[in-house]
């Protein structure tokens, strides 16, 4: 499956200058969903690039995008890169994330500005076949799972999947699963971040190594940078507003119905009154189908004004600093949890009442957390879940952080040996 010609034309007018010629050495392409605002996805290329040391990677996604204002990267669209570099040998590293289950429709919508996304969803959501056709035209590829790059984009590549996820892979459409499995079978090495994903791939005779999520490295690799962000701007203001400490709280827009907000507010207020901490609400994603400040404003209206602050910054280093300086994390974001793990802080993931299955958060926790640390809590039990998290053994949390760093270093060293 070669890149579509339409995508090559778009490359000539893209905002991000296209790397037309590969470097003299064998280039390394870091590819992933860091072409739109999502906390974890934006962290991955920073971590993998730091682990590569002396290499000068090219950052690529599905589209040209500039996320530098959020602490991310200037991103090149993968299809024009493939068209320009042809048969050259390259290293292609899928940097991480829940990419095995991300279909073309969801991928394309999440790359849109929010008002445009709402209009597109209203237009195509009732017509899934037309929605897929629109998405594939938009992305310039016929792929059903576009964040898994087919080998024929780069026939001479060393293809690596680094700690990717697919906890809900078994629930995906059969055609998407077949495409993903074919791409994985053509890869040189596969690392997945949870046992659930590994078991589903093993059932399809696709072996994979178990590798912690790259974000477990954020404290050891970027601790000084994060500490600087904690001393200035909004994070410093939050710390001053809550000298007794605060809980870093986040949830996605699907928690925004009145009954759910009532339950979250009641639980947070009860927790805050028993522990004395404040509540700092932050967004872990600004792309469509992520977090919504309007939901946070409605939640804040249900709480005493002295108890809660809404953080406006979407800079990933501010978000890391907010979590690192907190008393703990509670939210729906997996990477809110993982950054808290990296800093050996209390954490618990928030589970929606309507959730049909525990999801990637529970899958990751079941793989890497000690059994005494709770994975998820439903909104009606949020106060008890936070209280349990805050009572965790600090030394056990530190030990978990150390073990994850050691495991990721070991696994990435093995991956590095596979590069050309």
Tens digits of per-residue pLDDT, 201-257? 999 999 999 999 999 999 999 999 999 999 999 999 999 999 999 999 999 999 999
**Closest by Cα among 43, 154, 60 to 96:** 43
pLDDT digits 0-9 by tens, 359-418? 999 999 999 999 999 999 999 999 999 999 999 999 999 999 999 999 999 999 999 999
Rounded to the nearest 10 degrees, what angle do helices 334-342 and 359-368 cross at? 30
Mean pLDDT of the chain: 93
Q: What is the pLDDT, as a whole number, of residue 2?
A: 45
Domain boundaries along the sequence of the chain: 5-211, 217-404
Q: Are strands 28-31 and 91-94 parallel, antiparallel or unpaired?
A: parallel
pLDDT of 354 strictly over 80: no
Neighbours of 395 (CB within 10 A): 9
Better-predicted residue by pLDDT, 4 or 205: 205
pLDDT digits 0-9 by tens, 391-404? 999 999 999 999 99
Determine the average pLDDT of the residues in 33-52.
Answer: 97
Determine the average pLDDT of the residues in 162-179.
Answer: 97
Token pair of 195, please?
A: 């046992």
With cut-offs at 50, 70 and 90, classify the pLDDT of residue 11: very low
H/E element holding 313? none
pLDDT digits 0-9 by tens, 293-339? 999 999 999 999 899 999 999 999 999 999 999 999 999 999 999 99
| Torsion angle in degrees (nearest 10) through CA of 169, 170, 171, 173 | 80
For 199, phi then psi, to 5°, come to -65, -40
CATH number of 217-404: 3.40.50.2000
Q: What is the pLDDT, as a whole number, of residue 352?
A: 83
Rounded to the nearest 10 degrees, what angle do helices 218-230 and 316-324 cross at? 90
H/E element holding 222? helix 218-230
Q: Distance between CA atoms of 51 and 398, rounded to whole angstroms? A: 22
Q: What is the pLDDT, as a whole number, of residue 24?
A: 59
For 278, phi then psi, to 5°, come to -90, -175
pLDDT of 161 strictly over 50: yes
Q: What is the pLDDT, as a whole number, of residue 343?
A: 99
Residue 407 and residue 350 in contact, taking contact as beta carbons nearer than 8 Å? no
Residue 327 and residue 243 in contact, taking contact as beta carbons nearer than 8 Å? no
- Cα 202-205-207 angle, rounded to 5 deg: 60
Q: What is the pLDDT, as a whole number, of residue 353?
A: 74
Share of the chain above pLDDT 90, in %: 86
Residue 207 and residue 398 in contact, taking contact as beta carbons nearer than 8 Å? no
pLDDT of 8 strictly over 70: no
Distances (CA, A) of 140 to 11, 35, 63, 111, 146: 11, 15, 9, 13, 10
Q: What is the pLDDT, as a whole number, of residue 347?
A: 99
SS3 content of the chain, % helix, strand, coil (to 5): 50, 15, 35
pLDDT of 356 strictly over 80: no
Q: Distance between CA atoms of 314 and 95, rounded to whole angstroms? A: 21
Token pair of 222, please?
A: 């970027």
Say what the pTM is: 0.93
């Amino acid at each position: 499956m070669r890149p579509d010609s339409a995508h090559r034309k778009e490359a000539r007018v893209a905002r991000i200058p296209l790397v037309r010629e590969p470097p003299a050495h064998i280039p390394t392409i870091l590819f992933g969903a860091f072409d739109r605002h999502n906390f974890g996805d934006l962290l991955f290329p920073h971590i993998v690039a730091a682990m590569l040391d002396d290499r000068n990677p090219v950052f690529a996604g599905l589209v040209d995008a500039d996320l530098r204002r959020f602490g991310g990267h200037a991103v090149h669209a993968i299809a024009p890169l493939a068209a320009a570099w042809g048969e050259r040998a390259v290293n292609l590293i899928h940097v991480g994330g829940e990419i095995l289950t991300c279909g073309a429709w969801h991928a394309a919508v999440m790359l849109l500005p929010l008002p445009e996304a709402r209009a597109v969803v209203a237009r195509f959501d009732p017509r899934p076949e037309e929605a897929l056709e629109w998405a594939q035209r938009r992305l310039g590829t016929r792929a059903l799972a576009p964040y898994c790059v087919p080998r024929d984009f780069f026939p001479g590549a060393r293809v690596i999947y680094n700690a990717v996820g697919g906890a809900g892979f078994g629930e995906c459409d059969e055609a998407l699963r077949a495409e993903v499995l074919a791409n994985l079978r053509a890869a040189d090495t596969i690392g997945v971040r949870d046992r659930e994903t590994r078991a589903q791939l093993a059932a399809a005779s696709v072996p994979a190594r178990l590798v912690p999520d790259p974000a477990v490295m954020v404290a050891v690799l970027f601790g000084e940078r994060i500490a600087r962000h904690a001393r200035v701007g909004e994070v410093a203001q939050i710390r001053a507003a809550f000298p007794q400490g605060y809980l870093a709280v986040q949830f996605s827009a699907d928690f925004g119905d009145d009954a759910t907000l009532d339950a979250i507010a009641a639980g947070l207020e009860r927790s805050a009154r028993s522990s004395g901490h404040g509540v700092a609400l932050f967004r872990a994603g600004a792309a469509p189908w992520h977090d919504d400040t309007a939901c946070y404003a409605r939640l804040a209206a249900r709480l005493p004004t002295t108890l809660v602050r809404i953080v406006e910054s979407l800079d990933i280093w501010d978000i890391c600093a907010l979590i690192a300086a907190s008393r703990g994390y509670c939210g729906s974001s997996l990477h809110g949890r993982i950054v808290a793990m990296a800093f050996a802080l209390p954490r618990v993931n928030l589970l929606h009442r309507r959730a049909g299955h525990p999801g990637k958060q529970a899958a990751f926790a079941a793989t890497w957390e000690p059994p005494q640390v709770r994975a998820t809590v439903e909104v009606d039990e949020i106060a008890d879940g936070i209280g349990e998290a805050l009572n965790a053994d600090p030394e056990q949390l530190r030990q978990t952080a150390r073990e994850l760093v050691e495991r990721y270093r070991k696994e990435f060293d093995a991956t590095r040996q596979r590069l050309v």
